Amino acid sequence: MNDSLYIAATGMQMQQMNVDTIANNLANINTPGFKKGRINFQDLVYRELGRTASTEDAQSSLSIAHGSGVGISSLSKLFTNGDLKKTDAPLDIAIQGDGFFEVVMPDGSHAYTRGGSLSVNKDGFLATADGKALKPNVHIGSDVKSMVVNADGKVMVRSSNQSEATEVGRIELANFSDATGLVALGENLYKASEKSGDAIYGNPGADGLGVLVQGSVESSNVKMIDEMVNLMVAQRAYEMSVKVIQASDEMLGMSNNLRR
């Protein structure tokens, strides 16, 4: 009887974490480049209760066992592409396809992002909106009249004293053998892990990497209808676990009230 209480409790706890993940997805539905999370469940260790003789062979026996509830095998990010939203801002650069921008963190380490709302930092280099420089460095300068980013990553800049644009660098993309293994850092940033493997670099449009689209940002890949359906399913599963606890509690009460 105590097993049923514990098993139902694990179900309630895991569904609460599932609801928390769905809530985070919904909260970031308008965050550019956000990738939704997904809980992956697994059953817990099975415990052998006994053995019974096989009907076909009396010498053999079958194990009688039941599980210990439900747990979480992983919390993964789904890196499906979001829709592109046109902004016409020259520093808004979306990735259409696979790949990540690589940025340099304040401590010198590297992180990766799909958020393409860029800026020019105080040193004149292309950077994220909060000033983290892209790698490789692309120097734009301060006296810029126009900037064009081609689909293959070439950056063309024309200053006020130039009649034609000149190439000042190229934006490269990074990709991973298993992007779901990336570790989320917040602020639309991720870091590599043993599961994701090391970054594989290349030019946009080559080796399976996506192309760049200037004047657009990638929307979140969260779909409102899907998340609301998932929320209802999680709520019903939570309610079923509560019902199991209530039934187990009533049965324990009946046992305690037995009279000789």
Question: Are 202 and 152 within one domain?
Answer: yes
Q: Is residue 79 part of a domain?
A: no
Q: What does the pLDDT read at residue 218? A: 95
Q: Which among 72, 66, 63 has a CA at the least distance from the CA of 7?
A: 66
- Counting as low any pLDDT under 50, the low residues of the chain are none
- Domain assignment present for residue 130? The answer is yes
- Whether residues 100 and 154 share a domain: the answer is yes
Domain identity same for 64 and 105:
no
**Res 215: pLDDT:** 95
- The tens digit of pLDDT for each residue in 71-122 reads 998 888 999 999 999 999 999 999 999 999 999 999 999 999 998 899 999 8
Residues 56 and 113 in one domain: no
Say what the pTM is.
0.84
55 located within any domain: yes
- For the chain, the domain total comes to 2
CA gap 238, 242 in Å, rounded: 6
Same domain, 129 and 187: yes
Pair 8, 60 in one domain: yes
Residues 93 and 214 in one domain: yes
Considering the domain architecture, whether residues 99 and 165 belong to the same structural domain is answered as yes
User: Do residue 162 and residue 89 come from a single domain?
Assistant: yes
Tell me what pLDDT residue 82 has: 94
Residue 96: domain span = 84-218
pLDDT of residue 59: 56
3-state secondary structure labels for all residues of the chain? CHHHHHHHHHHHHHHHHHHHHHHHHHHCCCCCCCCCEEEEEEECCCEEEEEEECCCCCCCEEEEEECCCEEEEEEEECCCCCCEEECCCCCEEEEECCCEEEEECCCCCEEEECCCEEEECCCCEEEECCCCEEECCCECCCCEEEEEECCCCEEEEEECCCCCCEEEEECCEEECCCHHHCEEEECCEEECCCCCCCCEEECCCCCCCCEEEECEEECCCCCHHHHHHHHHHHHHHHHHHHHHHHHHHHHHHHHHCCCC
Question: Quick one: 93 and 118 in the same domain?
Answer: yes
Q: Is there a single domain that holds both residue 61 and residue 186? A: no
How far is it, in rounded angstroms, from Cα 129 to Cα 32?
Answer: 12
Whether residues 67 and 153 fall in one domain: no
Indicate whether 28 belongs to any domain: yes
Q: What is the pLDDT of residue 54?
A: 58
